[in-house]
Structure 1
């Protein structure tokens, strides 16, 4: 199938009209006898050529098999020859210019050149047969040269038309690819938006659980304590109410800090936040100590916040679920990573929940703690082991790199820090004890 462009479709009708006017004018002003039948046949041939044009246009638009294209070209050549024989003016020789033009469009450049050479050979043969010594007559030589020039122009126009069609086809292909790429990008953007929404939903859920959930749990514990000691120990009950009020105020402050972080508020300090948390968590039944080693400057706020939320979750589990009486918190800032350890003497973490008030290693709080730290390229390790006094207990170790790793990458192993998590083993440690 071939589908060349409709290159300047007005050329054939205009050429036919010019040949008709030229031949009619020559017949009208000629001094010889008027050959009516010849003139009518000449005009009829041109009319038939005009009637072929709609078929040529349909071929250009929709494409036709090469056999049909060859038949249409052969019909044109026959009609051109008939018109040229019936034309006494010789103007109809210009019709043969359309032969290489059409052949180039239908069958390619080689066919156009061969048909052009055939037209020149046909004209030379006609001159040789009908005009003795035509090569020494300037008029015939001039006509031949003009005919060759017209053929060259026709072939050039056909080549331009073919290149224009190829360029249009390439442009349409590029536009189709761009449209497809645009659709793919739109689908990709939609999926990214959905994933971003899901990620943000998970982040907000973790924030609510780790921040507000922790403080609300602390408020509930303190209010239960206040109710239990209301008549037995009024000062302890008052202290519990005061601590509950602090936890509620702290929850409100953290909400404000989260909003203020979007407005370039004061940078988050893990050491200050841990000291504040430990100071208000300890009482006469629970001893909480804090040891800080190194300098937290150089760590981004996301890493420090993740460690703080993880510490909140670990402290809540140790206090409320583990029934611990002693909790030791150790924060160490190294050159490449920071490690936070929360160790207690409570009941530890069971592999699977065996009681309603004991969290498992796969509970929502633990899962949220892991997700938050692992998103920064860190890791969380939970271990049940006897403490120094041979009671049961749990050790939660959280490690984050100084420069956050890409999400989903495996975090580094816990670094070897100087000393252990137990307080008093580092000379530059900052130790704080909540005593109630």
Structure 2
């Protein structure tokens, strides 16, 4: 939010100021009342034409001020219009003064610098104020010989100059107050608009957060419980197929289905604890060895596993992502590849961890479109790996098996992130211990 710099002695460029309407109205009324009263009770009654001109000129001033306020509300004020109104006002002031018998109309001229301050600025107001004082001085010099020795004339001049000074000061205060109020209103409007935008942004962020959480939960369900439910369905179908042909094989299939059901329940509980911000430590190597041991006695493709390096340098998020990739690759090998052997390789390197799953199944179709292997599982894996800076690659040839490769970068620890002093960096000595002497 930006604001326009303001100088306390000039009208704000943000919004043209306008004179308080009550000031001129009060002064016009006072001059009108004084003139009419003087004509009624004075010793020398004025000609009706002169009295009518006096009243008509004051009426024109009231109408001019009303028209100026209406124009200001409708389309704002312009400098040319302000100059034209000021010239018309000075002309009407002169007309009133020429028809006034009470002599109070001279006070109308203090409105010249007063209104000019709002419309044209401080400098124009001072120049016009000095011009009004100079005009009164010239009038005395032309019409009154020896005026400078007349105490009443000098007092009149000094009083007029004082009123002009007070008028300009009052205009400066009123302009500053109007400008401050306008700026406050502008700030309130900007804050209200910012508040509305922030509420819209917050709603959008909440919507995106909800969508992101929904996608994350969908990935978790597919990659964890969905994997085990697929294994249960395959093993139950196998048990039904071998129930009359090979009772022992059917029992092994049912045992494998029960194992997958227990693992699905464990995965569900683990996901619930993670949602409650109570995650458990996770070991990728241990989880993969568990899969290999289960596959050895549960039918399906024969699994082998090679692990290189230490997983302790990687976080649970990276390790869990690689485990979900292994589950998805094994599910595809069971359901689609008709593989007899699947090899899992994990390499924990200094910069990244790599999981490779290779099977000897039917491979991928030759068409490039089919090589993308669209599906919820692989799309979810890519969505899981990309925020971690990892990637997923799938390669295969018809009849030549399929290879899944998933990688995640290693995130340096806080201690490793602190740079060590270079060879050109001098060690800063510790400050000396206080000795208690000054």
User: Structure 1 residue 362 and structure 2 residue 374: aligned?
Assistant: yes
Give me the CA root mean square deviation.
Answer: 3.4
Provide the rounded CA distance (Å) in 2 between the counterparts of 1:174 and 1:314: 59
**1:310 offset after TM fit, Å?**
0.6
Write out aligned runs for 1:312-391 (5 A): 312-352=327-367, 361-384=373-396
Q: What does the per-residue CA deviation read over 1:271-315, in whole Å, with 9 as the maximum and x for residues that have no partner?
A: 232222222223366322233333333433222221111100111
3-state DSSP of counterpart to 1:10: helix
Matched, 1:296 2:311: yes
Residues 367, 26 of structure 1: alpha-carbon distance in 2 compared, 3 angstrom cutoff: closer
How far does residue 216 in structure 1 lie from its aligned partner after superposition?
Answer: 1.5
1:77 Cα deviation after fit: 2.3
Structure with the higher fraction of residues in helix conformation: 2
- In structure 2, C-alpha distance between the alignment counterparts of 1:232 and 1:47, rounded to whole Å: 118
Aligned to 1:131: 144
Moved more, 117-126 or 35-44: 35-44
SS of 1:35's partner is coil
State the SS of the aligned residue for 1:297: helix
TM-score (norm. length: structure 1): 0.77
Shift of 1:180: 4.9
Query: 1:201-232: CA deviations, max 9, x gaps?
Result: 33333223222221122112211221222223
> Structure 2: how far apart are the matches of 1:363 and 1:292?
28
Cα pair 1:350 1:361 within 8 Å, conserved: no
Q: Is 1:150–2:158 an aligned residue pair?
A: no
Q: Which residue of 2 aligns with 1:277?
A: 291
> For residues 28 and 140 of structure 1, do their structure 2 counterparts lie closer, same or farther at Cα, with a shift above 3 Å needed?
farther
* Alignment partner, residue 411 of structure 2: 403
Pick closer, same or farther for the CA change 1:65–1:335 going to 2, 3 Å: closer
1:16 corresponds in structure 2 to 28
Q: Match for residue 47 of structure 2?
A: 37
- The answer as to 2:264 corresponding to 1:251 is yes
CA distance change for structure 1 residues 366 and 78 in 2, over 3 Å: closer, same or farther? Answer: closer
Q: Distance in 2 between matches of 1:29 and 1:366?
A: 105
Aligned residues: 394
Where does 1:106-125 land on structure 2 (aligned, <5 Å)? 106-125=119-138
- The CA distance in 2 between the partners of 1:271 and 1:122, in whole Å, is 102
- Which structure 1 residue ranges, 5 or more long, are not aligned? 405-436
Aligned to 2:433: none
User: Is the counterpart of residue 240 in structure 1 residue 253 in structure 2?
Assistant: yes
Kindly indicate whether residue 116 of structure 2 is the aligned counterpart of residue 103 of structure 1: yes
